[in-house]
Structure 1
C-alpha cells in the first residue's frame, strides 16, 4: 500500500481465536495524509437549546498543526463558532486550545437567569486549553487555562452536571523539576 490508496473490504468478520464474532459488512480507511477540507455537518437537538446544526472545516496547517472551525446554530439559543487548535512542537511538547464563541439571542429554558438577564441577548465565550513542554530533560512546564466571559456561563449553557456544579474553573501554570535521586 502507498499513500493515497484506500484500504477497503466488504463482507468481513472480526474473529476471535479464528471464530467469526462480529460482522463488518463494509469497511473503508483512507491511507492518505491529513487534508484540508469540509467535514460532515452535524445535526443537533437539545431539549433546552432546540434544533441546531454544526458545520466543520478542518485546516491541516502543517504536519504538526491543525485547526478545526465549527460554526453552530441553535434555534432557541443563538449562533456562534468553535475553534480548536492542536499542535506538536516536538516529541515531548504539545498543546490543544479551544475557543467557543456564542452570540446568544435568547436565554435557554431553566438557565437560572436573574431579572437583569431575562432578555438573554449577549455575547459569550470560553477559552480552554493545555500546553505541555519539556524545557530540559528534567524540567517540565504545564499550562492549563479555563476562562469564561461571565460567571454563569457553565451554569446556563453546559450540558455537563459536573461543569454546572463547579463554582469556577481553574487555570494554572506549573513547573516540575525532577531531582537526580527522586
Structure 2
C-alpha cells in the first residue's frame, strides 16, 4: 500500500473486495476528476476575464499569453481562424509565434486556440442558455460532432454530460 501511494495510485483495495465498494470508489474518483476539471475551467475563465497585468517587465510572458488569448477570443466564432491568422494579428511570423509560445507554454499554438475555444464552450454550457449547436457556432465549430470530440478530449466528459453534472 505504501509503495502504491508513493507512485501516485489514487486508491487501493485488497482482495477479496466487495463489488459495491469498488463501484462506489470508482464513482467517487470520476466525480473528483470532474470537479477538478470544472475548477480548472472556472479558474482559466477567471484569469481570462481579469484585467491585463501591468507592463513592468516581470509579467512579459503573461502579457504575451494574455495577448494571444485576447486575439483568439476576438476571433472565437470564426471557424477558419488558425495559427497563420493568429500570427498575422500579432504581427509576427509563424515560426516566431511557435517559438515564443513554446518558451512560455506546454501547448502548441493550435492546441492553445482549441483550449481557449473549449474553455469558452464549457463556460457557455454552464450558463445553460444555449443549445450545443449554438455553442458550437459561437466557439468556431460548424458541426457539433467535432466540438464533442475536442471537448471530450480536453475535459474527459461530453458536453451533454458536462451539463448534467451539479455545480461545484
Counting helix residues as a fraction of each chain, which structure ranks higher? 2
Q: State the TM-score, normalizing by the size of structure 2.
A: 0.23
Q: State the TM-score, normalizing by the size of structure 1.
A: 0.21
Bigger radius of gyration: 1
Counting strand residues as a fraction of each chain, which structure ranks higher? 1
